[in-house]
């Protein structure tokens, strides 16, 4: 406690700029999880305030409380000294609080200026319900000129690269004359040059007196652009510090809050002979090209790389849910084709997808239905399904995955993310796979459940199964995997041994073809 107070004092002494936004003791609970526990955040005018923390630390929940996407359970928010309580992001926008989202929600079939002025189209004249394309074009052009964005306002969104769409989103936030702008992982899809452009814009906004909240995982960026840093962990406020004099190590220590070794269970798997061999795998509709590697029995093979580097595409192509252009798969010395998901399942493959909600769970079906969908063939007696066998399979899932649920008939959507993930893992284990393809198996899961998933993964490998695991969290790959493949720009950039590599080495490989 005393340390925290000191931190605040430090900040107060050094900075006398006026406070723009103050969030005090914000609380938010979801069933089974305390997402925010008395979190504080103070943003001053004319500064860039970095918000840091691991996945699941509560950064985006905090922002969602600010924008009224979630209603907070406790705490107060002040904007320029006045207490506010936005009901939705529209209200926030109208009061000068804007956000540039990581996942772009844009009307892709409409053009740039339609997106910019959506919900507030300029009228031809006051009281006349006809929108003026001319005014819209002019206003858009003005904002773009100011921000040095070189895009025709009449371009259709879907024809532009993601980085330009991101710029449009930023321009939109600026066009509201916002006082506070939140950037959520803005650089994840930008090239180095574009990042420089973004920083120029941010610096310009700061000089105009805006308060910027900058959410990012990238240490170097944070240290370069921000004035202050607030660090969160497990839904709690940990520290707010002046960026000057802060080091990467210090930030990581605050973010992780404990020794890395405790985060991962001990490894008990033994690596055997080569099981799966992938040769010159190229995708038809994505940039994945010429990937070759092999995986052994009992091995946990990590796949690292930036977003869009082809990690997910690699798994999808192996599993046959994306169209292959070329490549050979060999399992246990025999060539296999994995033409579609059914074929792959028959060959002993399983794919845990990245987007649990979109492609994993059947949210309105119950746990039994979710668990047994891939192994219904085994639960038959005669031509009909046997409820007894279905129940038995599901019981096995619940027991061995340690799923916390009131009953088999509980709808899966009422479980926590971690338990949902365990149900899907269980679904795949019921198919008795030999090769498990796991895409971000711990995304959006709280720390405790992560540990359990790691245990399950290591346990599976110990039983002689091959696990290929994609993750964006470098420490996780280093802590769980035996070997790590690094993808870059759709190609395999390199292969490292988890025991004797560093994050820096992996990052360097990941940037190889980017």
Partner 1 sequence: MSAAIKRKGRLSARLEEFKAKSGADKRRAIVDLLFNNAMYIIIVIAIIYIAIQVPAFLSTSSIVNIISLTAAKLPIALGIGGAIVLTGTDISAGRCVGLTACISAALLQMTNYANKIFPELEVMPLWIVLLIVIAVGAAVGLVNGFFVAKFKLHPFIVTLSTQLIVYGLILMFLMIGSNNGQTLSGLDESYTNFVKGTLFRIDGVAVPKYVLYAIILTALMWLVWNKTKFGKNMFAVGSNEEAANVSGVNVFWTIVIVFVIAGAMYGITGFIEGARIASCSANTGLNYESDAIAACVIGGVSFVGGTGKISGIVIGVFLLQIIFVGLNFLSVDQNLLYVIKGMIILVACAIDMRKYLARK
Return residues touching partner 1 (CB under 8 A). 70-71, 319, 321, 341-342, 344-345, 351, 353, 358-365, 369, 372-374, 376-377, 380, 383-385, 427, 431
Of residues 33 and 239, the one with the C-beta less far from partner 1:
33
Which stretches within 404-469 are classed as H helix? 417-429, 447-462
CB of 481 to partner 1, least distance (A): 23
Give least dist CB 362 to partner 1, A.
4
Distances (CA, A) of 198 to 148, 152, 187, 250, 481: 10, 18, 8, 26, 35
Compute the least distance from the CB of residue 395 to partner 1, in Å. 17
60 vs 43, 183, 235, 459, 461, CA distance in Å?
Answer: 16, 11, 10, 32, 34
* Closer to partner 1 by Cβ: residue 134 or 378: 378
Q: Measured from the CB of residue 434, what is the shortest distance to partner 1 in angstroms? A: 15
20 or 345: CB nearest partner 1: 345
Nearest partner of 401 among 381, 415, 413, judged by Cα: 415
Residue 441: closest CA among 469, 467, 419, 415: 469
Residue 68 vs 211, nearer CB to partner 1: 68
The CA-atom distances, in angstroms, between 154 and each of 135, 138, 186 are 13, 11, 24
Rounded CA separation 19/12 (Å):
11
- Helix (H) / strand (E) element for 338: namely none
What's the closest the beta carbon of residue 373 comes to partner 1, in angstroms? Answer: 5
Q: How many CA atoms lie within 13 A of 127 on its CB side?
A: 0
For the CB of residue 357, give the shortest distance to partner 1 in the complex, in Å: 9
Q: Are the C-beta atoms of residues 73 and 30 closer than 8 Å to each other? A: no
Report CA-CA distances (Å) from 115 to 67, 78, 337, 465.
Answer: 20, 29, 44, 49
The nearest distance, CB 365 to partner 1, in angstroms, is: 5
Rounded Cα distance between 465 and 300, Å, is 9
Closest CA to 281 of 331, 315, 332: 315
In the bound state with partner 1, the residue whose beta carbon lies nearer, of 271 and 322, is 322
Residue closer to partner 1 by CB (options 323, 363) is 363
* Distances from the Cα of 263 to the Cα of 117, 231, 454, 492, angstroms: 46, 19, 9, 28
CB of 464 to partner 1, least distance (A): 22
Pick 374 or 408: Cβ nearer partner 1? 374
Name the minimum Å distance from CB 343 to partner 1. Answer: 9
Query: At residue 99, what are phi and psi to the nearest 5 degrees?
Result: -135, 135
Q: How far is the CB of 88 from partner 1 (least distance, A)?
A: 12
For 260, counting Cβ atoms within 10 Å of its Cβ (0-12 exposed, 13-18 middle, 19+ buried), the class is: exposed
- Complex with partner 1: residue 71 or 292, whichever CB lies closer: 71
* 372 or 472: CB nearest partner 1: 372
Output 333 or 377, the one with its CB closest to partner 1.
377
Dig out the tokens for 508 from the structure: 């360097």
**Least Cβ distance, residue 212 to partner 1 (angstroms):** 28
Compute the radius of gyration of the chain from its Cα atoms.
25
Residue placing its CB nearer to partner 1 in the complex, 120 or 339: 339
For residues 4 and 22, what is the distance between their CA atoms, to the nearest angstrom?
Answer: 17
State CA 467 to chain mean position distance. 21
């Amino acid at each position: 406690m005393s340390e925290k107070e000191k931190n605040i004092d430090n900040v107060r002494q050094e900075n006398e700029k006026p406070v723009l936004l103050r969030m005090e003791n914000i609380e938010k609970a979801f069933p089974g999880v305390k997402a925010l526990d008395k979190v504080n955040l103070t943003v001053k005018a004319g500064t860039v305030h970095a918000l840091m923390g691991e996945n699941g630390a509560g950064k985006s929940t905090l922002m969602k409380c600010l924008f009224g996407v979630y209603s907070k359970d406790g705490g107060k928010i002040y904007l320029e000294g006045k207490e506010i309580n936005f009901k939705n992001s529209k209200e926030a926008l109208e009061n000068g609080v804007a956000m540039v989202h990581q996942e772009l929600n844009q009307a892709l079939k409409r053009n740039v200026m339609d997106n910019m002025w959506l919900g507030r189209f300029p009228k031809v004249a006051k009281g006349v319900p006809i929108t003026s394309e001319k005014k819209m074009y002019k206003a858009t052009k003005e904002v773009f000129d100011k921000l040095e964005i070189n895009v025709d306002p009449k371009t259709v969104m879907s024809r532009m690269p993601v980085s330009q769409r991101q710029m449009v989103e930023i321009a939109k936030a600026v066009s509201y004359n916002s006082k506070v702008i939140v950037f959520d992982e803005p650089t994840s899809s930008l090239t180095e040059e574009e990042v420089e452009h973004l920083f120029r814009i941010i610096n310009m906004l700061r000089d105009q007196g805006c308060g910027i909240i900058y959410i990012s995982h990238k240490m170097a960026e944070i240290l370069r652009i921000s004035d202050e840093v607030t660090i969160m962990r497990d839904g709690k406020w940990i520290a707010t510090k002046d960026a000057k004099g802060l080091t990467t190590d210090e930030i990581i220590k605050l973010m992780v809050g404990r020794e890395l070794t405790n985060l991962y269970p001990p490894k008990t798997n033994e690596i055997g002979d080569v099981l799966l061999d992938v040769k010159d795998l190229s995708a038809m509709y994505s940039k994945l090209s010429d990937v070759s590697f092999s995986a052994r029995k009992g091995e946990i093979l990590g796949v690292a790389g930036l977003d869009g580097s082809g990690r997910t595409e690699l798994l999808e192509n192996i599993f046959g849910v994306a169209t292959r252009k070329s490549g050979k798969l060999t399992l246990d010395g025999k060539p296999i084709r994995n033409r579609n998901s059914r074929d792959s399942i028959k060959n002993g493959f399983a794919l845990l997808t990245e987007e649990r909600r979109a492609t994993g769970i059947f949210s309105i079906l119950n746990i039994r239905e979710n668990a047994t969908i891939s192994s219904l063939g085994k639960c038959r007696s005669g031509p009909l399904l046997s409820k007894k066998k279905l129940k038995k399979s599901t019981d096995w899932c619940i027991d061995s995955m340690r799923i916390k649920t009131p009953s088999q008939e509980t709808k899966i959507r009422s479980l926590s993310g971690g338990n949902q993930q365990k149900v899907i893992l269980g679904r795949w284990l019921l198919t008795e796979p030999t090769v498990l393809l796991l895409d971000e198996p711990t995304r959006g899961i709280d720390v405790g459940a992560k540990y359990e998933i790691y245990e399950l993964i290591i346990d599976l490998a110990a039983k002689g199964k091959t696990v290929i695991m994609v993750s964006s969290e470098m420490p996780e790959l280093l802590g769980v995997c035996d070997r790590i493949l690094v993808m870059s720009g759709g190609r395999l950039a390199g292969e490292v041994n988890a025991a004797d590599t560093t994050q820096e080495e992996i990052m360097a490989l990941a940037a190889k073809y980017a």
